[in-house]
Structure 1
Amino acid sequence: MFDFNLWAWLSLALIAALVLVIYSIRWHRSPILQVSSEAGIAELMPSLSGLTLSTAVEGNTVDVLENGAFYDVLLERIRAAQHSVHFETYLWKPGALADRMAAAFMDCAKAGVTVRILLDAQGSKRIDKDMVARLREHGCKLKFFHKKSLYTVGVLNDRDHRKLCVVDGREAFVGGHCITDEWLGNAEDGKHFSDVSVWLHGPIVHSVQGAFSENWAGETGELFVGDGVFPVLERVGTIPIHAAFVKPENSAPAVKILHHTVLCLAKKRIWIQNPYFIPKIEAIDALAAAVRRGVDVRVLMPSASGSDSPMVQHAGHRHFEKMLRHGVRLFEYPHTLLHQKLMTVDGCWCSVGSTNFDDRSFDTNDEITLGILDAGVARRFEQIFERYLARAEEIRLERWRKRGALHKLKDNAAYLLNDVL
């Protein structure tokens, strides 16, 4: 007779082996941060785009859209579509904003516009099922990314965190805005969040369309071609941009390479605005090295009381002391969630997109970040930084060291889960 305990041990071993196999499939190497260059970042766009498996394209325009005003422009442009609307997001919850978005999509579809909507199955699990049915009945093609099934068991932790929209293949929106009512308003109180997205025209729109196509084809098998989705795009401005979004197997994802590399190239300043700031040791060391080079390094983030996920903020606290000791200046905003994912380097290069400064975004999620070489856009992002900085609280080293034992316990406990937060 076969021993029951032996069966139990064999089952545990099999489960452990499966977990190890799944982990090894999804594991990505981290880049070794030993990048140096005499050239300034303004001269290194071809390098940054090449390292992130992209191409910098010239001739674009960038309009910066903040907070709830973003949706006024987005909805207007969706309703103006003639051929196609492609929309991809992580978070969609019932409310006034969801109703407005759905109405615009259905009106487009009724008018003969091809509407493709890709929602993350986990982030958008609270979407009204009747709304999904109505969207489909009106002709919208709606799919969910990585729905729970045996087929997706190995990638259920991989989420589609991108936020983008492409209209007629000629204009695109990229940023951090989600479809919940907290994003309406103007960050005027703790119930209304702050965020930043950009409205793009020019050849870079093809890159954003390509990012959408990647996950749409993965979920549906459908490829789309033609002038209604990939028209010839002439130069309409002067701004060079590249899009980082690819995630090759067994190599560092493009968004991680981009964020880490620019830390090593800065010569004057690095200003980071990010809602979930949990840098790894190699990134912390790169920030410390930047300070030693004379770089002004500042990070603005929500406090635990201002965040929608206090545990994430506590996990980020784990390495505050080390960063402060090395001269990195840290600021927390207690009034509401600052959800913008912005970075400016040396006043001439900047980034915007969906990527948080943590391992979930860098290694696990599907993300998109734009690298933009333009002093005007960089200055606009810095003005946003300065506006919120005026009401933020700077973390001082001596005071931080004296925080209470319970605070320290929360920080260390939360950090144990930082890879999955």
Structure 2
Amino acid sequence: MTSTQVSSEPVPRTLDAQPSVTPEARAVRIRRRLERLIGIAATEGNALVPLRNGDEIFAAMLESIRSAEHTVDMMTFVYWKGDIARQFAQALAERALQGVRVRLLLDGFGSRLIEAEQLAAMERAGVQVAWFRKPLYLSPFKQNHRCHRKVLVVDEHTGFTGGVGIAEEWCGDARNENEWRDTHVKVRGPAVDGIAAAFAQNWAECHDELFDDRDRFAEHRPQGDAVVQVVRGSASFGWQDMQTLLRVMLESAEERFRLATAYFSPDAYFVKLLCAAARRGVEVEILLPGPHIDKRVSQLAGQHFYDDLIACGVKIFQYQPTMMHAKIVTVDHVVALIGSTNFNRRSLDHDEEIMLAVMDEAFTTTLDEHFEADVASSELIRTGRWGRRSFMQRAREAAIAPIRRFL
């Protein structure tokens, strides 16, 4: 697609130039835009810990599960095989045997590879297992709408979300192509209620009992200084909250917009938003998987737009060591997004997703430092070199056009 074709879409409105403001004021402004335009209040008093790669992520999640006293609610898109899958199954089963109410919600497509033995062991121990939209029993329309959320809530006071699935691919510390690069976040404070609501929304579709006497509905005490808005995306027709979230981030950016995503296949409208930000002087940087991407078709869908994005001044990096699976946005050093949402049509149009909008400079700084470390292990897509790509590469990009909206 040429730049002329992309510009045929409705031109997104850019914000009027505004005088420079303090980082605190900038964060407040973005917060109010999000609260009013999405209609979900942000909460104060949260503490967040960014967790980088499987060694940190799985250790923190398992420690939290093993210390549970009342309830464990967990949902995931991917639950596959291997030692880490067995460790989670054993931890969940052990807490259920000790009288903890344990609920596990698995996506009917993404978790289809779970070992039957582990599933049976959990159910024997008393874990309540439910499946979200098993394809065998659904219409083709519903089969296309998956639960891509990754959520763990323990004792109502500790929540986790981010990009990881329960599988060997996420183990380790991104040291080689067998250890995927990803980020999760541990949350304490009132924002945990929003994470719990994401679980409850999907559990209600799959199970008759929404809550029981083990749910205490306890008040949250302040745990930190972070302001957090929890945004849930759900499959529907028309414009969605997740699209609004990303649009507000792009149109609010004044200095820098950074995006790390596993799957990049936006529509022309969001390409236009990215270009508009770059053209008004925002440094726009996109970090994507490189040679180790697990879904080549998704990469081809995004590469279709590289010419237009590079021409606008957008910098595109491809991560070299392993599969880049994180889903992170940072804006102007003060606001960050983290969760399960990719920058693609599937996440924005078709799947159940969750994203945290975090107004906290220290948290954003940490994610920016991670981004810079990842860029140091990445290759920049250069205009001349990309323009000389082969005819076969261009043909492959064009060939997937009919299915781009589903990627």
1:413 equivalent to 2:406? Answer no
CA contact (8 A) 1:315 1:413 kept: no
Inter-partner Cα distance in structure 2 for 1:151 and 1:181: 29
Structure 2 residue matching 1:419: 3-state secondary structure = helix
Matching residue within 206, 212, 220 for 1:233: 220
Residue correspondence of structure 1 range 171-210 to structure 2 within 5 A: 171-210=158-197
Matching of residues 147-158 of structure 1 within 5 Å: 147-158=134-145
Tell me what 2:6 maps to. none
1:36 aligns with 2:22: no
* Cα distance, 1:354–1:84 mapped onto 2, change above 3 Å: same
1:52: Cα distance to partner? 2.5
**Corresponding residue number in structure 1 for 2:36:** 50
Q: The residue matched to 2:197 in structure 1 has which SS?
A: helix
Take 2:10 and 2:155, find their aligned partners in 1: how far apart are those partners?
37
Structure-2 separation of matches of 1:346 and 1:60: 21
- 8 Å Cα contact 2:234-2:351 kept in structure 1: no
The 1:31/1:105 distance shift into structure 2, 3 A limit, reads farther
2:106 is equivalent to residue 127 of structure 1: no
Could you tell me which runs of 5 or more consecutive residues in structure 2 were left unpaired when the two chains were aligned.
1-8, 19-24
Equivalent residue runs for 1:212-291 within 5 Å: 212-224=199-211, 228=215, 230-247=217-234, 249-291=236-278
For residues 44-81 of structure 1, give each alpha carbon's deviation from its aligned partner in whole angstroms, at most 9, with x where no partner exists. 21321332232101110000111122101110110100
- Partners in 1 of 2:166 and 2:216 — Cα distance? 24
Residue 103 of structure 1, aligned match among 90, 94, 102: 90
Change (3 A) 1:235 1:225: farther
Residues of 1 paired with 2:334 and 2:351: CA distance?
A: 28
Q: How far is 1:409 from its partner?
A: 1.1
**Aligned-pair identity (%):** 31
Q: 1:33 to 1:370 in 2, by over 3 A?
A: farther
**CA offset digits 1:181-209 (Å, max 9, x no partner):** 01000000011101001000000001111
* 2:299 paired residue number: 313
Say whether 1:300 aligns with 2:284.
no
* Corresponding residue for residue 375 of structure 2: 389
Contact 2:235–2:350 under 8 Å retained in 1: no
Q: CA deviation at 1:213?
A: 0.2
Q: Secondary structure at the match of 1:154?
A: helix
Q: Distance in 2 between matches of 1:371 and 1:245?
A: 11
Structure 1 CA distance for aligned equivalents of residues 62 and 401 of structure 2? 39
Are residues 1:118 and 2:105 paired? yes
Q: Pick closer, same or farther for the CA change 1:31–1:210 going to 2, 3 Å.
A: farther
Cα deviation, 1:126-179, whole Å, max 9, x if unaligned, reads 111222121111100001100134455431100000011000110100100111
Q: Over aligned residues, Cα RMSD in angstroms?
A: 1.8
Which whole-Å CA distance do the structure 1 matches of 2:11 and 2:40 have between them?
20
The change in CA–CA distance for 1:402 and 1:248 in structure 2 (over 3 A counts) is: closer
User: Could you tell me which residue of structure 1 aligns to residue 327 of structure 2?
Assistant: 341
Distance 1:229 1:318, change over 3 A: farther
Letter in 1 for 2:73: H
Within 5 Å, give how 1:334-373 maps onto structure 2.
334-373=320-359
Partner Cα distance (2:296, 2:129) in 1:
32
Q: Distance in 2 between matches of 1:105 and 1:51?
A: 39
SS in structure 1 at match of 2:353: coil
Q: Which moved more, 1:353-362 or 1:287-296?
A: 287-296
Provide the rounded CA distance (Å) in 2 between the counterparts of 1:218 and 1:110.
26
The residue type paired with residue 365 of structure 1 is D
| Bigger Rg, which one | 1
Shift of 1:226: 5.9
Contact 1:31–1:252 under 8 Å retained in 2 = no
CA contact (8 A) 2:235 2:352 kept: no
Contact 1:171/1:200 (8 A) holds in 2: yes
User: Match for residue 380 of structure 1?
Assistant: 366
Query: CA shift at 1:249, angstroms?
Result: 4.2
When normalised by structure 1's length, the TM-score is 0.89
